[in-house]
Structures are given as C-alpha cells and as structure tokens.
C-alpha cells in the first residue's frame, strides 16, 4: 500500500543553475591544480638554473612569482568552497523536500521505522555534501595533470605515481567492502536498541508502577553492548586502514626517491627534475589519500543515498489522472478490494457504492473488519488492491492532494492536531477570515468548549498543548466540517464526547447532509443514528459486506 500526498515541488528555475555552477567549480578546480604546478617548476629552476648561475635577483623574482601564484590559488579555492557550499545547501533542501514527501507516504503505509531512518539518511547526505568530500572529488582532476607532468619528466616517475594511486584506491575499496556491513549492522542495532528503550521509558507509569525498570534495562543492555562491539570492530578496521595508508605513503616516498636516484646516476634527469618529481607524485596521490581517508563519510553517504532512492521509489505517488466526465456527482466506489499486508485473503472485496450529494451512510462492523482501512482508501490515503474511488468524478488517490484536500473533511480515530493555535487547526492553517473557523466550531457544538480555554481560539492545540481528549476531539471535528467539504468522513466521532456533545454532533451531520455533503460515519452503535443516516454499510471482516438502506 502507498499513500498519495502532494508536497510543493522545488521550482524548476532553482534547479537550472546547478549545472553551470558545477561546471564553474570544475574550471576552478583545474585552475587551482594548475597553480600547484608552480612548486615543481620553481624547484626545477632553483636547482637547475639558479644554483648554477648564483643569481639572487632571479631567485627573488621566482619567489615573488611563486607567492603570487599561491595567493591566486588560495583565492580560487575560497571561491570554489563558497560555490560548493551554496550548491550543497540547495541540493540538500531539494533532497530533504523530496525525501520528506516520500517518507510521509511510506509512513502512512505503516512503515514508520523505514520513514524514521530516511530522515536520518537525509541528514547524513547533507553532512556529506557540506563536508570535504565534494572538494576531494574535484581535486581528482589534478591526477591526470600531475601524471602528464611526470611523464614529461620521465615515464618511470609516471609509472610510480600511477601504481601508487591504484594501490591507495584499492585500499579504500577493500576497506569499504570490509567495514560497510559491520558499520551498517552496528548502526541498525544501535537504532533498534535506542527506539525500544525510548518506547519503554515512555510508558513511565507502567514501568515504575510495576517495578519493570530493571527488566527493561536488562533487555536493553545486551543489545546495546552488541551494537557497541560492532561499532568497535568497525573502528578497528578504520585504524588498520589508517596504518595501511601510512605504510603506502612511506613506500611511495621510497619508490620515488629510489627511482630518482637511479635516473640521476644514469644521467637521465637533472637534480631539479628529481625534486620536482617527488612533489608531483605527492600531488597525484594526495586526492586519492584524502578520499580514502574519508572512506567512512562517502561510504555511509552512498549507503544512505541508496536507501533514500528506495524510499523515494516506494513512496512515489500514483500517476495523476484527469476527472471522469461520465461519473455522477457525489461519491462513487467501484469494485474496491482491500487486503492487509501479508494477508491471505482480502478484508474487503468488490465493494460497489454510490452516494449522491446529501446522502449519509453509517459504517459498522467488528473490530479489525477494515473500517478504518476503507475510510483511508476512500480518502485516497491508501492504495487499494483493485477498484477506484471517485468524488465528483475525481479519483481521490490519483488526483493531486492540493485539489482534493479542501473538498474533504476527515476525523481520524485519534484527534490529530498540529502545533499551532486552535483557530489555525480548525482553519487548516489557511490565511483567511477567522469567521469561517468559528462558524465550523459552532456547527459541531465546539464553540462554548473552546471559549472556556485559557486563551480561547488562540490557545495552543498541538500534541503537547495539554488539551483533554474531549477538547481535542471537538477541535478536530470543527476542522473536519470547516469549509463545507464535499465529503466528510468521521471515524468513531462519538468517542470521548458526553451526551450533549453527541447530540450536537448528530445535528451537525444532519445539517451538513442537508447542505449537500456526502457523509460517512463509523460507529459501533447504529441506533442513535437512525433518522440521521440513509443506510448502514456493514463489513464482516472476511471480505463480504452488505448495505442496508433505510426506507
């Protein structure tokens, strides 16, 4: 199952400058690496020309030119760093928005653990993009430049640098393959142990009241210790990698010096060329060593990118479809089949139902029969196994949520209020006249209860606002009726309400029905709703259903 939601997509104009900025960063990287050629060139001139001519004026001129080029290289590096930071921030925002949309859809489908991990993966990728890894990747452009210079000095220097670069890259690949599984398993184990402990400690009264804290900690400690041990093994592998890198660096220096001495004794190169070659080999190897040294950053980043790509793919909304002009106004359900994940048989099969504007139906059935799942499918929040749901000809699953949302009113089983004031929650955080929100509260009988709050409609109404269950439910009811929706779905709306509030609720449903809204109400007791609804849809839970319309 997947839910379809529409979050605002990043503007296309914002994506256009990415390619030119990236090309500019590449050009700046080439220029930066070109400035580094001044070091071996200066070395060659000093050892091969200045020492022979003993001209201090030439030395001062070369030193001034060398300093100017180094300053230019520093300025170019600063410009590149600023461009990379800006591009990383822009890419991070776009990535976060796409991942957030996909995460919400996957979470609504019941995979909350996957959704929580996706947000952590976004943070990991943003750290990767904002770190040194992008600059290290661009610095790889210095390798062909340095190798070309070494080839001109002597092919043996080229061979030494090329082999050294391959060895360092191989160390990085082997380290990644060896430690990736260990590090990933340790991270997952730590996350699992942490979530389980937080979940248990969240049940404070139960844990303390029954003296279960030692048992909770006893379950947490072994899992956490195993995760820490796994991370310790990954740290050990990282230390071994650092040792291999140092050993490779020493071997490289010995190979360069040995090669240079042999070529010098054979009179094939000058002393300046030997010193310049040692500098250029370091220039060719340094970017590879930086990348290998940060193997954990890019390894975790690549793993996070793969997981995010999977989440985005699974959380992609269905392809949008246009309205069905032949469909009648109101709600039409055609051949709807719903199946719980992993279930052998559907909980609801082949449901056909057509409700004209101004009709109301009560939804009844035992616990677990699929009433809430059916409501979510009708609202377009869950994808059915077969069939479709149309509201005034528009498919509720495949129509952008920005178009269908204002036409829907929904009260879930638990009153879900967002951080904000009471009036903002009722008005769905839309910038409009507050009178419409107050009118919705009056319609469902919530006005007086809201007036008794400390700040009335300006009182906080978020999850931590301290509203009672009944108060939160009345605010949620007012939100469901706000804006005269075409379809209002109420999942057990009477829970937590007193007798007077229940009577007001039934009157509000009757009024909305008379005003042309299609009403769907879930209740375990159809009797009080006699005369308010036009029929009862009963779900048996075994895939069968029946519809009883009142005369």
> Considering the chain, what is the average pLDDT of its residues?
79
Q: What is the pLDDT of residue 10?
A: 40
Strand-by-strand arrangement of the 386-391 sheet: 348-355, 331-338, 386-391, 394-395
Q: Which residue has the higher pLDDT, 72 or 230?
A: 72
Displacement of CA 346 from its chain's centroid (Å): 32
Q: Indicate the pairing of strand 535-539 with strand 360-364.
A: parallel
Q: What are phi and psi of 85, to 5 degrees?
A: -65, -45
**Residue indicated by tokens 């949520």:** 401
The mean pLDDT of 534-544, rounded to a whole number, is 89
Name 338's bridge partners.
348
Q: How does pLDDT run across 377-401, given as a tens digit for each residue?
A: 999 888 888 999 999 999 998 888 7
The mean pLDDT of 241-251, rounded to a whole number, is 72
The pLDDT-based confidence of 197 (bands split at 50, 70, 90) is: low
pTM summary value: 0.61
Q: What is the pLDDT of residue 142?
A: 76
Phi-psi region of 253 (alpha: psi -120 to 50; beta: other; left: phi over 0): alpha
Q: How does pLDDT run across 198-220, given as a tens digit for each residue?
A: 666 666 666 566 676 677 667 66
The mean pLDDT of 485-493, rounded to a whole number, is 92
Nearest to 368 by CA among 348, 390, 395, 344: 348
The mean pLDDT of 480-505, rounded to a whole number, is 89
Q: How does pLDDT run across 357-376, given as a tens digit for each residue?
A: 999 999 998 888 889 889 98
**Long-range contact list for 227-234, CB < 8 A, 24+ apart?**
227/186, 227/187, 227/189, 227/190, 227/193, 228/186, 228/190, 229/186, 230/182, 230/183, 230/185, 230/186, 230/189, 231/183, 231/186, 231/187, 231/190, 233/182, 233/186, 234/179, 234/182, 234/183, 234/186
Q: What is the pLDDT of residue 481?
A: 93
Helix (H) or strand (E) holding 217: helix 213-265
Q: What is the pLDDT of residue 388?
A: 92
Q: Which residue has the higher pLDDT, 306 or 190?
A: 306
CA–CA gap between residue 418 and residue 424 (Å, rounded): 9
CA–CA gap between residue 135 and residue 291 (Å, rounded): 10
Question: Mind listing the domains of the chain with CATH numbers?
Answer: 1-132+301-317 (no CATH), 142-293 (1.20.1560.10), 331-549 (3.40.50.300)
Q: Which residue has the higher pLDDT, 487 or 97?
A: 487
What's the N-to-C CA distance of the chain in angstroms? Answer: 37
Q: Which residue has the higher pLDDT, 270 or 62?
A: 270
Angle at alpha carbon of residue 255, lines to 292 and 153, rounded to 5°: 100
Q: What is the pLDDT of residue 175?
A: 66
Is the per-residue pLDDT at 48 higher than 90? no
Q: What percent of the chain has pLDDT over 90?
A: 17
Q: What is the pLDDT of residue 413?
A: 85
The mean pLDDT of 128-145, rounded to a whole number, is 76
The pLDDT-based confidence of 14 (bands split at 50, 70, 90) is: very low
**Residue indicated by tokens 């250029």:** 280
């Amino acid at each position: 199952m997947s839910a379809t939601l529409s979050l605002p997509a990043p503007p296309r104009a914002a994506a256009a400058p990415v390619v030119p900025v990236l090309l500019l960063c590449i050009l700046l990287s080439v220029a930066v690496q070109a400035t580094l050629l001044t070091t071996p060139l200066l070395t060659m001139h000093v050892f091969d020309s200045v020492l022979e001519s003993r001209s201090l004026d030439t030395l001062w001129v070369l030193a001034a030119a060398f300093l100017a080029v180094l300053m230019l290289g520093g300025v170019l590096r600063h410009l590149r760093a600023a461009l990379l930071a800006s591009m990383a921030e822009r890419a991070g925002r776009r990535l976060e928005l796409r991942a957030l949309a996909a995460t919400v859809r996957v979470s609504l489908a019941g995979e909350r653990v996957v959704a929580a991990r996706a947000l952590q993966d976004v943070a990991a990728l943003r750290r990767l993009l904002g770190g040194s890894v992008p600059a290290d990747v661009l610095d790889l452009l210095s390798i062909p430049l340095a190798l070309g210079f070494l080839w001109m000095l002597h092919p043996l220097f080229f061979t030494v640098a090329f082999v050294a670069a391959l060895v360092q890259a191989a160390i990085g690949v082997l380290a990644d393959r060896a430690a990736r599984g260990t590090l990933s398993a340790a991270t997952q184990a730590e996350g699992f142990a942490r979530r389980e402990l937080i979940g248990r400690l969240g049940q404070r009264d139960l844990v303390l009241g029954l003296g279960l804290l030692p048992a909770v900690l006893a379950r947490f400690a072994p899992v956490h210790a195993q995760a820490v041990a796994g991370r310790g093994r990954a740290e050990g592998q990282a230390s071994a990698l650092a040792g291999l890198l140092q050993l490779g660096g020493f071997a490289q220096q010995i190979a360069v010096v040995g090669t240079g001495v042999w070529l010098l004794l054979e009179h094939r190169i000058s002393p300046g060329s030997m010193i310049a070659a040692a500098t250029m080999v370091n220039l060719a190897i340094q970017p590879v060593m930086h990348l290998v040294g940060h193997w954990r950053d890019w390894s975790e980043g690549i793993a996070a990118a793969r997981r995010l790509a999977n989440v985005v793919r699974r959380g992609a909304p269905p392809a949008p479809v246009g309205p069905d002009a032949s469909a009648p106004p109101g709600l039409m359900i055609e051949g709807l089949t719903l199946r719980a994940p992993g279930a052998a048989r559907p909980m609801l099969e082949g449901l056909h139902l057509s409700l004209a504007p101004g009709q109301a139906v009560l939804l009844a059935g035992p616990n677990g029969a699929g009433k809430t799942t059916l409501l979510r499918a009708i609202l377009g929040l869950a994808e059915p196994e077969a069939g479709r749901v149309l509201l005034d000809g528009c498919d509720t699953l495949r129509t952008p949520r920005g178009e269908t949302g204002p036409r829907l009113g929904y009260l879930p089983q638990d009153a879900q209020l967002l951080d904000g004031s009471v009036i903002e929650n009722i008005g769905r955080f839309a910038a409009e006249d507050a009178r419409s929100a107050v009118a919705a509260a009056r319609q469902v009988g919530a006005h007086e209860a809201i007036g008794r709050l400390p700040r009335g409609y300006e009182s906080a109404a978020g999850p931590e606002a301290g509203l009672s269950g009944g108060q939160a439910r009345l605010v949620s009811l007012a939100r469901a009726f706000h804006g005269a929706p075409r379809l209002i779905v109420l999942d057990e709306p009477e829970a937590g309400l007193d007798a007077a509030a229940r009577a007001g609720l039934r009157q509000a449903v009757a009024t909305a029905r008379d005003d042309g809204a299609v009403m769907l109400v879930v209740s375990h007791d159809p009797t009080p709703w006699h005369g308010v609804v036009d029929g009862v849809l009963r779900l048996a839970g075994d895939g069968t259903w029946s519809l009883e319309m009142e005369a």
